[in-house]
Amino acid sequence: MFRLYSGLSSPAFEYRIVGNPTVDPAPAAPADNALRAELIGQIANAQFDLDAAASQGDSAVLASADAQRQELAALLRAIAATGPAGLAAIRAAVAATATTSATIVQQARASASAADAAELAESRIASRATVQALVSDLHRFDPYLQFASEQDETEYRHREAERRAYIEHQHAKATPEGDLNAAGAAVGQMVDAKAHGADQSPEFGQRWNRLAAATDRLRDAARATGQPTEEFDRNLRDDLRRALKAKGFGNAEIDARLAASGDPLQAARDFVRSDQSAPAQPVATVAPADHAPVSNLADAMAQFRAAGIVAAEHPPGDPLAHGLAANERPAPAPGRSTG
């Protein structure tokens, strides 16, 4: 007699067949052992596929998967309790159950694909609406923008016009990739605007949060359905690099910041959320002049004379000679400048 032990080792089962210590079993034929191992392997593979699909299907599919797991467990018990003569009969039952398990897995995947497709469609609609509303309202940030020079403003306006045209072109494609690229351009525009002071606008934070959330949702849905995101990532990295340069960061520091995040959308969030000021430069200090300490009036007058300052002589009766306060000085003579 043989007993079957199963120890759960994620993600699949591991099985061992050991002899019953209370019985001295007759040695099994090699062919019987091979068949037993084959059947156990088929059940283990079916169990693994069901576990992998468990988080993908709807409630009906999940209920079917749970019932199928119980069937697989019953077959394992039957294999453990059946001698060599009964294994051939169980083989057909294992094959049928494995086929049913494969069908359930396909249903789960189809259900997940339908859910992913629905999420992608909804996220595209939300993203397009958010981006288009933002682009039409970019002028609201103009009163808060600050530029280092006329050339700086000219270059900013040129980039803004390029992004507007790019967004329109990408939306016209009517594809998930195009919508994602358009959202990335809108994110890049907000990053550029932040670098020029637009975050001082009371609307900026709310508009940014709405855009970032819609873009994140669309990108996740695009990835789930196998849509490409390379152009989105590349363009957003370029926009971040340009914004950090405008803030005074060097190439090495920019590379380090982008590498630390790894995700350009998260790096954009970090940039907008924090005050990305360039590293402060050390301020030069001026040491005080080395003068000998002044201990009396005579020494002070000597230092004045050494610096070229000479006491003025005043004729007798001049009120300035007696320390008259400024508001007590007589009016100037006609024709004398009061400068």
* pLDDT of the residue at 1: 40
Q: What is the mean pLDDT of residues 255-274?
A: 88
Q: What is the mean pLDDT of residues 305-316?
A: 58
How far is 80 from 34, CA to CA, in rounded Å?
Answer: 14
* pLDDT of the residue at 74: 85
Model pTM greater than 0.75?
Answer: no
Q: Is the pLDDT of residue 279 over 90?
A: no
> How many C-beta neighbours within 10 Å does residue 31 have?
10
Q: What is the mean pLDDT of residues 38-42?
A: 85
> Who has greater pLDDT, 91 or 334?
91
> Who has greater pLDDT, 310 or 271?
271
Tokens coding 273: 């959320």
Q: What is the mean pLDDT of residues 36-46?
A: 84
Q: Is the pLDDT of residue 86 over 80?
A: no
For a pLDDT cut of 70, what percent of the chain falls above it?
A: 69
What residues contact 314, with CB distance under 8 A and at least 6 apart? Answer: 320, 321
Q: Point out the least confidently predicted range of 39-53, 109-123, 265-279.
A: 265-279
Q: What is the mean pLDDT of residues 312-320?
A: 53
How far is 15 from 9, CA to CA, in rounded Å?
Answer: 10
* pLDDT of the residue at 304: 55
Cα–Cα distances in Å, from 138 out to 11, 119, 183?
51, 28, 14
Confidence grade of residue 259 (pLDDT, cut at 50, 70, 90): confident
> Who has greater pLDDT, 338 or 27?
27
Helix (H, G, I), strand (E, B) or coil at 284: coil
* pLDDT of the residue at 338: 41
* pLDDT of the residue at 20: 47
Mean of pLDDT over the chain? 77
Q: What is the mean pLDDT of residues 194-209?
A: 96
How far is 322 from 46, CA to CA, in rounded Å?
Answer: 111
> Who has greater pLDDT, 143 or 305?
143
Rg (CA), the chain: 41
* pLDDT of the residue at 12: 42
* pLDDT of the residue at 30: 64
Q: Could you tell me which residues are beta bridge partners of residue 4? A: 17
The pLDDT tens digits of the residues spanning 211-251 come to 999 999 999 999 999 999 999 999 999 999 998 888 888 88
Domain boundaries, the chain: 2-113, 137-273
CA dihedral (159, 164, 169, 170) in degrees, to 10, reads 90
